[in-house]
Structure 1
């Protein structure tokens, strides 16, 4: 017994001695803890976000510039108190307890609600660093990048490292959604109101309760233990803060909100001899004749020569001999009002019979990355190498008409510590160069990515087959990556590679989803169809045109939400859990999502489905096709005819729309239609600018605020004058509101408007018409956007 007491006293003495030897140093936003086992630094970014850095010694690594772009923050007020066994740090929003032995953090909000608690576990291992934290009983986790497996990752083990997701070969295809990692992002958000960004370029493993329901952990296979704690408490604030660190998504040209079309120019791999420079202009002509709205075109890999060193994996920037006059091809496409034509490239240089780029790069000496397993990999980390690559390679095609590139296969850098950030450098180089050369916003799109890829400026989901088994996982990938800071995202409508007989139903359903994705892109490798809509029959073509045209009418809404993405990182395609984090019904919903703040889109992902159930979160909802109302907090089943994409509108919605066009800005918009679903008080801001220049970064744009106020016996709708440095074109408004009762009068700015005879009449003349059958009021305003307009309906 005496020995036990002696041991206990000795332990207390050691702890006291340890605590006595621990101290802190406060320098501006940096709080350095000097500990016997190594130093720890807290770097306060804001009063709700701080960085945690552990060192086994006294030195911390220099700040990198590929993932995080912002390290300098305005002064943050915080206090530090020594409580003996722990320090108590307080900011305006957080209370942080840091125990001294062992050093562990516990974070609460300003009201004392516990958010995050670290466990006393070993942090440094031979080949890895790790942190373990308490897993709260009702805690759930979201984010992690372009995950195709699950949304809620509680109870899962997640491995993040850029890779294709190759797995065992199933009957068709060769992809494994459990391993798919085209764009991993080491950032997650908890339903407890906080997020963690693991600031490391190394592969990471997140054990989110896989081993135990009592704890979770995050581990990096190399590098420092360096992470950011981000307090929300809502998901939108967390994503906004994360992208404050890693960069916001830039605005694309307004026309990039339209349809992007990819082509193999008539011949995919093993059919290269069938390619032709006549094919792309002919494709544009057919699209225009069929009245399929589109704005951008790119030629995939078979435009270029495949050479002996790297085959189709290399890029020599030389045209295949089936392209007799590439410049005339570009000119012909642009003459048909295609806004941009681009080309597919690879990150590996190869020799061609004319330019011998690989040999010249070897002679230059600083172009290829030293030590890379594949010799031809361009060193995109080096600005001088990028300049050489641009002048000697890309300019061969940019000078005759190419305006962007598709940067494919970004996982070629095999060196540890560089593998995950190589896609960032690879995507940035052409994005910046083309932006300068074209003197307009860039449009580069890429496949692989990591933390920060949202800057360059959008990615696509990769090469998933045209199979039902991969349809819903692709939707899930889009939802997860939107929660990971990457809002500009797309996929190949109908899938990419064709393994089984053509499935018109799958194509039709996938197209419906594709038109309600952040970026709309149609492309496929299937020879000879290439997912061109008329090849699936007249009904599939009609469906394609229907939803493509609907997308083009929604351009004002889509573009306004693109501006919000740029300002706040709010994704265009949003999982319901972001708006309803306390509703566990939303945690694994992947067949429905919000498109912008008002439209709930519910793709049909089951072959032959005659019906599908939908979950309505709290509030009131309207069927977009019929106008029927539904109360929230319920599941309901609906019939699913093939030509209808289920869409439901949140009560209070205000959705700006424009006339259908065959390409964006084909005609001046003389009238904006406002699709309104009155409920209480709601508002929405429509954003406008020149749609093409970088002036938006200088704040040169305008916002027009619309407000709806529904009372017991009246409805008031206001359209404010545009506010901002940009002067938008003049237009009137057609307000279309869903009201249960026919009005007695409609007054605009104090003057009664005349009653009109039909919807068509209301679309052309000032006045109002009430559609009794569909309970819709149409009001064509007398005033325009140069003045404030107030409409009072009684």
Structure 2
């Protein structure tokens, strides 16, 4: 008897060891290219889906501003120095220094230390550049390019932008004192010229810069050269480059290979049809309302840009630089629900579009919304991949409206673009929609007037949605997906695909990423949430993850089971939150919500 028991235990132990040592067939899985793949589309680095800032600051001010942003508990993933990077000491006057490939070594005496400070704080650093060389004061660079035949044209520049101008205005109305400056446009159609230009800016990356903001031109050729520079020279990009360029240059599908673009120099006003301020004529006729249309109107050319962004709050404040706290708050609430978020303004803007410079209320609200943005990173980044794999843009236009849109298929966003408005009329798309703030339900294909107090943007979640969130972190790279909250809104069957990768390399182009299919299905008495075994892998990935399930509309939940065992949960209001459940990403999980 004892001998039989001994052999039985040996067999059980052997089976246990064998099962523990089994390797999931999905761990080495390489994802094939789907038929829906947009092969032109390149995904920006993960950090770019956090919060980006730009400014006209010298080295000392740059570090001080970053520290102040951090002291207000704002997330920060990147900071670029705009055009005064080349000549801060003269406030970007020009034409001298624009550009000489040296930049301002007085105002930035130790750029390596400045970039290193950013790197220590998981912040990417960038600088501004344009596609021409003005002769005056930059003779060495000018004649170097001219003698090599690297200019597409040389012309006489009579514009005031960085041409003996002490403001960042692109044109000074009624001023005829601007010098006539010989200027060469670099021929980026010429591969040799493009490569030579890249080599002239390489030392900025060697010092520690990571990305570039392009201005004046956004041709595919210019974008390609500068994007490749960030790929080849950026120390932290690991091959996944990043640029900011103007929204034109979209005639060729190739533009998708060089993310990303912003909507342009917008007016810090509510709309063009009902202006509240006076602006110089050079400022494009593009305000908050028109920016919403850039994303939400399918007939707007800018809406085809997958990872479109904008200057949150507007670039130019108007002739009198009149501050409008309400406008900034409404613009900020809208901007948080766009693909890329960046705060920037004209140097003359006394607020620099930093919330703490507007008011305590703006400061508090930005902190709330920016934290929400960072928690939604797994959701947003999954859609970044879906944009490439399936053509499912995170901004989805809704037929019949140009001022509301879906943020992914799970969120409905209806920005406020009228001064003083505290309500908003909108027509709900097909499905049932749940007010994010109140939990109220709205049927699809109906029109309602909804409340919109100053602290809340009209925001709705589709019934059946499954939305992953992670813990807040001050930057994308300081956060992780080790613990995910899965927010479930029962009532309709649905599916969500969570997609993850290392965030910095181009391995995803070779099918190296992790995909987890999540589904929600219902019968008369319960809802079943199924997390399928993950497929794939990526560099430095942890195999195990903790899940916390948060069930919304939980008034009548009787129990929650996970893999056949009852799972503890607590209820607060109409929300049930389970205890954390840890499992291998390669194991399936079934959660049954009993009503």
Compute the TM-score of the two structures, normalised by the length of structure 1: 0.61
Partner of 1:746: 560
Quick one: distance in 2 between partners of 1:569 and 1:280? 38
Structure 1, unmatched stretches of 5+, are: 1-236, 266-275, 411-421, 578-586, 754-766
Partner of 1:335: 120
SS at match of 1:468: coil
Quick one: distance in 2 between partners of 1:569 and 1:429? 26
Give the alignment of 1:616-635 within 5 angstroms: 616-635=428-447
SS at match of 1:690: coil
- CA shift, 1:501, in A, is 1.1
Q: In the alignment, is the contact (CA less than 8 A) between 2:529 and 2:592 conserved in 1? A: yes
Quick one: distance in 2 between partners of 1:354 and 1:379? 18
Q: In the alignment, is the contact (CA less than 8 A) between 2:83 and 2:129 conserved in 1? A: yes
SS at match of 2:222: helix
Partner of 1:575: 397
- CA shift, 1:356, in A, is 2.1
Quick one: distance in 2 between partners of 1:261 and 1:498? 17
SS at match of 2:478: coil
Quick one: distance in 1 between partners of 2:350 and 2:532? 52
Give the alignment of 1:477-496 within 5 angstroms: 477-479=294-296, 480=298, 485-496=304-315
Q: In the alignment, is the contact (CA less than 8 A) between 1:731 and 1:784 conserved in 2? A: yes
Quick one: distance in 1 between partners of 2:138 and 2:451? 60
Distance 1:314 1:570, change over 3 A: farther
Deviations 1:435-469 (A, max 9, x none): 02233311111003222222211100000111111
Give the alignment of 1:95-174 within 5 angstroms: none
Distance 1:482 1:623, change over 3 A: farther
Query: Do residues 316 (structure 1) and 100 (structure 2) align?
Result: yes
Quick one: distance in 2 between partners of 1:501 and 1:312? 32
Deviations 1:625-676 (A, max 9, x none): 1222111111111221111121101112111110111011314433101111
- CA shift, 1:388, in A, is 1.0
Give the alignment of 1:69-108 within 5 angstroms: none
SS at match of 2:442: strand
Quick one: distance in 2 between partners of 1:308 and 1:441? 30
- CA shift, 1:363, in A, is 1.9
Q: In the alignment, is the contact (CA less than 8 A) between 1:685 and 1:704 conserved in 2? A: yes
Tell which deviates more after alignment, 547-556 or 327-336: 327-336
Partner of 2:227: 431
2:482 equivalent among 670, 674, 680: 670
- CA shift, 1:484, in A, is 5.3
Structure 2, unmatched stretches of 5+, are: 1-33, 158-182, 272-286
Quick one: distance in 1 between partners of 2:259 and 2:336? 19
Tell which deviates more after alignment, 553-562 or 706-715: 706-715
Partner of 2:262: 460
Query: Do residues 598 (structure 1) and 381 (structure 2) align?
Result: no
SS at match of 1:625: coil
Distance 1:750 1:483, change over 3 A: farther
SS at match of 2:437: coil
- CA shift, 1:343, in A, is 0.7
Give the alignment of 1:87-486 within 5 angstroms: 244=38, 248-265=40-57, 276-305=58-87, 311=95, 314-320=98-104, 321-338=106-123, 340-351=124-135, 356-365=140-149, 367-370=150-153, 375-392=183-200, 394-410=201-217, 423-438=219-234, 439-447=238-246, 448-451=248-251, 452=253, 453-469=255-271, 470-479=287-296, 480=298, 485-486=304-305
Quick one: distance in 1 between partners of 2:412 and 2:127? 34
Deviations 1:185-220 (A, max 9, x none): xxxxxxxxxxxxxxxxxxxxxxxxxxxxxxxxxxxx
- CA shift, 1:714, in A, is 0.9
- CA shift, 1:720, in A, is 1.3
Partner of 1:11: none
SS at match of 2:133: coil
SS at match of 2:484: strand
Tell which deviates more after alignment, 322-331 or 276-285: 322-331
Quick one: distance in 2 between partners of 1:354 and 1:482? 37
- CA shift, 1:619, in A, is 1.3
Distance 1:307 1:669, change over 3 A: closer
Distance 1:531 1:739, change over 3 A: closer
Query: Do residues 769 (structure 1) and 567 (structure 2) align?
Result: no
Quick one: distance in 2 between partners of 1:707 and 1:545? 32
Q: In the alignment, is the contact (CA less than 8 A) between 1:708 and 1:715 conserved in 2? A: yes
- CA shift, 1:352, in A, is 7.5
- CA shift, 1:308, in A, is 11
Quick one: distance in 2 between partners of 1:637 and 1:720? 40
1:654 equivalent among 456, 466, 489: 466
Q: In the alignment, is the contact (CA less than 8 A) between 2:486 and 2:550 conserved in 1? A: yes
Query: Do residues 515 (structure 1) and 300 (structure 2) align?
Result: no
Partner of 1:160: none
SS at match of 2:449: strand
Give the alignment of 1:668-707 within 5 angstroms: 668-707=480-519
SS at match of 2:591: strand
Deviations 1:153-188 (A, max 9, x none): xxxxxxxxxxxxxxxxxxxxxxxxxxxxxxxxxxxx
Q: In the alignment, is the contact (CA less than 8 A) between 2:133 and 2:185 conserved in 1? A: yes
- CA shift, 1:337, in A, is 2.4
SS at match of 2:304: coil
Name the count of aligned residue pairs.
505
Quick one: distance in 1 between partners of 2:566 and 2:91? 74
Quick one: distance in 1 between partners of 2:303 and 2:380? 20
Quick one: distance in 2 between partners of 1:475 and 1:254? 24
Give the alignment of 1:511-550 within 5 angstroms: 511-525=332-346, 526-550=348-372
- CA shift, 1:781, in A, is 2.6
Partner of 1:29: none
- CA shift, 1:370, in A, is 4.6
Quick one: distance in 2 between partners of 1:494 and 1:668? 29
Distance 1:308 1:642, change over 3 A: closer
- CA shift, 1:776, in A, is 4.0
Tell which deviates more after alignment, 695-704 or 494-503: 494-503
Q: In the alignment, is the contact (CA less than 8 A) between 2:56 and 2:82 conserved in 1? A: yes
Quick one: distance in 2 between partners of 1:312 and 1:519? 33
Q: In the alignment, is the contact (CA less than 8 A) between 2:333 and 2:415 conserved in 1? A: yes
Q: In the alignment, is the contact (CA less than 8 A) between 2:496 and 2:518 conserved in 1? A: yes
Compute the TM-score of the two structures, normalised by the length of structure 2: 0.80
Q: In the alignment, is the contact (CA less than 8 A) between 1:516 and 1:595 conserved in 2? A: yes
Deviations 1:67-86 (A, max 9, x none): xxxxxxxxxxxxxxxxxxxx
